[in-house]
A = this chain, B = another copy of it.
Amino acid sequence: MKVEEKHIKRCIELAKKGEGYVSPNPLVGAVIVKSGKVLGEGFHKKYGDTHAEVNAFENSAGDVRGATLYSNLEPCCHSNKQTPPCVPLIISKGIKKVVISNLDSNPSVNAKGIQQLQDAGVEVITGIIEDEANELNKFYFKFVSKKLPYITIKIAQSADGFMSKTKNEQTWFTGKEAAMFVHRQRAKYDAVLVGANTVSVDDPLLTVREVKGRNPKRLIIDGSLSIPLDSKLVAGDDPEKTWVFTSLNSDDKKIIALLNVGVKVFQLKSENNKIKLIDILKKLAHEMITSLFVEGGANVFHQFITENLFDELILLQSPIKLGSGVPGFDFETAGDLKIIQKEKIGIDEKIILKKKIDHFFTGI
């Protein structure tokens, strides 16, 4: 068992190199081992590129016949996509044994890949380091099973539980390490999301600057289309990465101005200029956004939490006290949550919470 865990750990390590680039595909690493010797490794580098298994075969030195293939995810067997399925390749290469962490919950694969391998006489072992591999592909699993993005809410707050002094003023109280952590998340998630008030007050960039990585799409919920046209998300770099969600009756001239600089505008039905969150999320899924990092402000957090539309909550707790201000995260209203991780991050504390029971969206 030790050996299998070692190789699967390496698969997960390899898979992570694709973070931020493979969406809406899963993160996959693969290792080919024969007589205790690693013949080759591979991972899925970016969407549209060859799969991890194919890359592992291509990188293999020596005869792979009779070898064992390790991968964090069940190999694909469906051909309704760009790249050829991996299962026939694995069989044709004479692989004797396949060791994986998770089944692929994509309905086109789900256990069928394993079945085909077994039918061809290949031994299959599943469930190795399953939890870590589940966590690795949490975006993908949520997306293919619920047809909605995986949603993480990030709230930074003071030691006494306030998000900012007032609603119309930016308060910055978390440290460099917390900022680096946030930027690392941005590089992984397909999109970050803020409300129009945050754009007006903070004028954020929402880019990845503290660490290396690609910039996410930047989404703004703006029912009454109040964001300034000279805000950085509109007038700055890469306006085509800025997507605005607004009402059907929003000012046409302003929409034209946004579209003209390259900003994408989605007009959705609304009531009193409030768009239903679920309508935005469905639209995002339609646009192949598999993961969403919600960065504020107070109204947006409130909406996601009270409507129970999130998978994960990250609290960045500063040691600084504000005395008064806009109240931050309230355990009372957030339902049954369990703390997954709690650790110091520079001067701050990072607390990650998830639902106790994943009853998220049952019935949809």
Measuring CB to CB, which residues of chain A are less than 8 angstroms from any residue of chain B?
252-253, 255-256, 259-260, 265, 267
Contacts and interface: CB of A to CB of B under 8 A. Distances in A.
A103 to B, nearest CB: 39
A265 B256 CA distance: 9
B253 A256 contact: no
Contacts of A255: 252, 256
A22 B77 CA distance: 45
Contacts of A252: 252-253, 255-256
A265 B259 CA distance: 10
Nearest to A253: B252
Contacts of A265: 256, 260
A267 B252 CA distance: 14
Contacts of A256: 252, 255-256, 259, 265, 267
Given A252-B253, A252-B256, A259-B259, 6 more contacts: A255-B256, A256-B256, A256-B259, A256-B265, A256-B267, A260-B265
A199 B22 CA distance: 40
Of A252, A259, A260, A265, the most chain B CB neighbours within 10 A belong to: A259
A256 B246 CA distance: 13
12 contacts: A252-B252, A252-B253, A252-B255, A252-B256, A255-B256, A256-B256, A256-B259, A256-B265, A256-B267, A259-B259, A259-B260, A260-B265
Contacts of A259: 256, 259-260
Nearest to A263: B259
Contacts of A260: 259, 265
Contacts of A253: 252
A267 B253 CA distance: 11
A238 to B, nearest CB: 16
A286 to B, nearest CB: 14
Nearest to A267: B256
A243 to B, nearest CB: 12
A153 to B, nearest CB: 30
A200 to B, nearest CB: 23
Contacts of A267: 256
A341 B51 CA distance: 57
A255 B256 CA distance: 7
A267 B256 CA distance: 10
A256 B256 CA distance: 6
A195 to B, nearest CB: 23
